Amino acid sequence: MSFENTLSLQGRLLIASPAIGDPRFERTVIYMCAHSHEGGAMGIVVNKTVDGMDFRELFEQLEISEISIDRLPIQYGGPVEETRGFVLHSAEYKPNEASTVSGDISLSASVDILKAIAAGNGPKNHIFALGYSGWAPGQLEDEIKQNGWLVVDADPELVFGPELEEKWDQALAKIGIDLGKLSSQSGSA
């Protein structure tokens, strides 16, 4: 059986390797929300923010007036539909429109979850991201074969952890990779 037909990456993390060759994804960690051979793949970057955007201004544009939180980082979810918002969140919070990605993590894209977060009634853990990362059928598999991405099991502590700058290193450490020995050159045995 081939890789494309047997392995779903949904609920796992992609780690950009030094060989990624795309500056948009350099040192990026992506939580995979969907993946199938027929439908392609979709994920949310979990370790980069959108600079220069204030969540209060965004809430004002969305007509969210009840705000009890002091801070909500707006993260860069990926280069596709960069004006569309997504909330990756802990699965204990169950809004009607949420899609369960794994036992621990769900994905929502409605304004209602942002209202709940603003009011302090939302999920315990959450990432608000603009945009997403997407691949056509077979594209991600090709990028993995070309050593552009590494794959590791996801855990909520890494996905929702507050230290964004450290997530890439933490994800690599989960699979025992020493950056000093990681080469950007690929080869085959």
The model's pLDDT over 2-20, given as tens digits with 9 standing for 90+, comes to 344 458 999 999 999 988 9
Nearest to 114 by CA among 130, 101, 102: 130
Nearest to 102 by CA among 12, 1, 162, 7: 12
Evaluate if residue 165 carries a pLDDT over 60.
yes
b/e string for 170-189 if b means 16 or more Cβ within 10 A?
bbbebeebeeeeeeeeeeee
Q: Kindly indicate whether the domain formed by 3-171 is annotated with CATH number 2.40.50.100.
A: no
- Mean of pLDDT values over 132-150: 95
Q: What is the pLDDT of residue 183?
A: 52
The mean pLDDT of the chain is 88
pTM, 2 dp: 0.88
pLDDT confidence of 52, banded at 50, 70, 90?
Answer: confident
pLDDT confidence of 88, banded at 50, 70, 90?
Answer: very high
Q: Where are the domains of the chain?
A: 3-171
Evaluate if residue 98 carries a pLDDT over 90.
no
b/e string for 36-60 if b means 16 or more Cβ within 10 A?
ebeebbbbbbbbbebeeeebeebbe
- The pairing of strands 126-135 and 40-45 is antiparallel
